[in-house]
Amino acid sequence: MTMSETPSTQRSLQVALGDRSYPIHIGSGLLGDPTWLSPYLAGRQVLIVTNEAVAPLYLERLRHGLPNEAEVRELVLPDGEATKTLACVSRIWDALLEAGFNRRCTLVALGGGVIGDMVGFAAACYQRGVAFIQVPTTLLSQVDSSVGGKTGVNHPLGKNMVGAFWQPRAVLIDTDTLKTLPAAEFSAGLAEVIKYGLIRDAKFLAWLEAEMAALRNLEPEALAWAIERSCQLKADIVAADETEQGVRALLNLGHTFGHAIEAHQGYGNWLHGEAVGVGMLMAAELSCRLGWLSADEVERSAAIIASAGLPLKAPVGMGAEDFLSRMRLDKKNVDDRLRLVLLETLGKAVVYDEAPMPLLQELLERFPRS
């Protein structure tokens, strides 16, 4: 498929992981159609976990997509990144145990990345592993967190520091859910879409530059293609490196800087995609200082990030040591060496752990603050 052949109908692709492979279904109206959900249930017992923002919008519709014979329970958690804690995951385990659910139960994560990460982690641990299905309702979760099996919760000292790799049985992406997504959260999702172009696909990046207005206007064909291409790129990387021993680390472009912003500001005060957008620009700037990217390429990166409605400046009052103290806790670091994902050119990323500290310090001190 070329960039001009944007899909207008339901699309499916596969995450190839041997006997743990699973499909990603993308389209309009998937939530209430039993065709898409029922085949992936492990048994009759189903726990739907969602949050207070999503439940009034889509919980009833999702229930219509379950078979009549299913034994369904529901758990509605508080909304927001600040709830991504072990305490909230314990509420999921409480609900499962109180309902007497066994190893053939299925958890269904209905919501954004916070819900998906917590439900996946709960599924990985409950009775040493039960089935779960991702039903992401935000753009960010549709193109990123729902695919690949990374699950977990935040710790006060670092984002996603407690978790497990646990793959879903399926990912169902109903593009209709984006119609109720706040504009800021949609922009946050676009940060992850842009990331795929920056790290892996220069042609996709150029397509995004041309079609950003269409995406922000929720034009169905452009939206479906952007989601499909993002998911395909991530699926290919996950299939090659499920547990992030190599190429999968490239998916963290901007995340080491971005996670530091989130932790410093307090989880939820900056949206994840907003922090990643700034982090990607910081990575581009450092790549330029290393002699890889040109100044024009950095400017081009900034322009597409800005066109998505994302900030271009770090938080005011966040100094270089605030960044470094949190970046040193990043999971990618090995033997106390700070590992960063940088850009050799637009469309090609590398993992790099040899950036001179004075160069990094200067970037962190001089990068614009909002």
Cα separation, 295 vs 280, in Å, equals 15
Catalytic, out of 169, 234, 264, 339: 234
Any catalytic annotation for residue 313?
no
pLDDT at 268: 84
Instruction: Give which of 105, 97, 106, 165 is closest to 135, Cα–Cα.
Output: 106
Q: What is the pLDDT of residue 324?
A: 94
User: In the annotation, is 150 catalytic?
Assistant: yes
- Count of C-beta atoms within a 10 Å radius of residue 370: 11
Q: Judge whether 248 counts as a catalytic residue.
A: yes
- Residue 255 annotated among the catalytic residues of the structure: yes
Q: For residues 230 and 192, what is the distance between their CA atoms, to the nearest angstrom? A: 8
Active-site residue 244, yes or no? yes
> Which of 266, 260, 269, 239 is CA-nearest to residue 251?
239
CA separation for the pair 252, 341 (Å, rounded):
7
**Which member of 81, 211, 228, 244 is catalytic?**
244
Predicted confidence at residue 335, as pLDDT, reads 67
In whole angstroms, what is the distance from residue 228 CA to residue 341 CA? Answer: 24
- Which member of 5, 128, 179, 354 is catalytic? 128
pLDDT in tens, the chain (370 residues): 344 344 445 899 999 999 999 999 999 989 988 889 999 999 999 999 999 999 999 999 999 999 999 999 999 999 998 899 999 999 999 999 999 999 999 999 999 999 999 999 999 999 999 999 999 999 999 999 999 999 999 988 888 899 999 999 999 999 999 999 999 999 999 999 999 999 999 999 999 999 999 999 999 889 999 999 999 999 999 999 999 889 999 999 999 999 999 999 988 899 999 999 999 999 999 999 999 999 999 999 999 999 999 999 999 999 999 999 999 887 777 766 889 999 999 999 999 988 899 999 999 999 999 8
Task: Report how far apart, in Å, the C-alpha atoms of 119 and of each of 76, 81, 151, 296 are.
Answer: 12, 14, 8, 42
Residue at token pair 């090659």 = 240
Catalytic residue among 150, 169, 200, 264: 150
Eight-state DSSP code of residue 82: G
Active site residue 25: no
CA atoms within 13 A on the CB side of 58: 30
Q: Which of 84, 169, 195, 272 is catalytic?
A: 272
Rounded Cα distance between 309 and 253, Å, is 19
Residue 86 structure tokens? 């072990």
Query: How far apart are the C-alpha atoms of 315 and 353, rounded to whole Å?
Result: 25
**Catalytic: 160?**
no
Is 43 in contact with 105 (CB distance < 8 Å)? Answer: yes
Distance (Å, whole) CA 33 – CA 35: 5
Choose, from 25, 84, 200, 255, the residue flagged as catalytic: 255
* Alpha carbon distance 259, 115 (integer Å): 18
Which position among 25, 63, 229, 248 bears the catalytic label? 248
- 61 belongs to the catalytic site: no
Burial 280-312 (b: 16+ CB within 10 A, else e): bbbbbbbbbbbebbeeebbebbbebbebbbbbe
Query: Model-level pTM?
Result: 0.93
Cβ-based neighbours of 356, under 8 Å, separated by 6 or more: none
Task: Report the C-alpha gap between 61 and 30 in whole angstroms.
Answer: 10
**Which of 169, 259, 264, 339 is the catalytic position?**
259
Output the six-digit token pair for 332.
């990618």
Concerning whether 169 is annotated as a catalytic residue, the answer is no
- Alpha helix positions (H), 108-254: 113-125, 139-140, 183-200, 202-216, 220-240
CB-based contacts of 330: which residues, under 8 Å, 6+ apart? 158, 256, 259, 338, 339
Question: What's the token pair of residue 369?
Answer: 């603050």
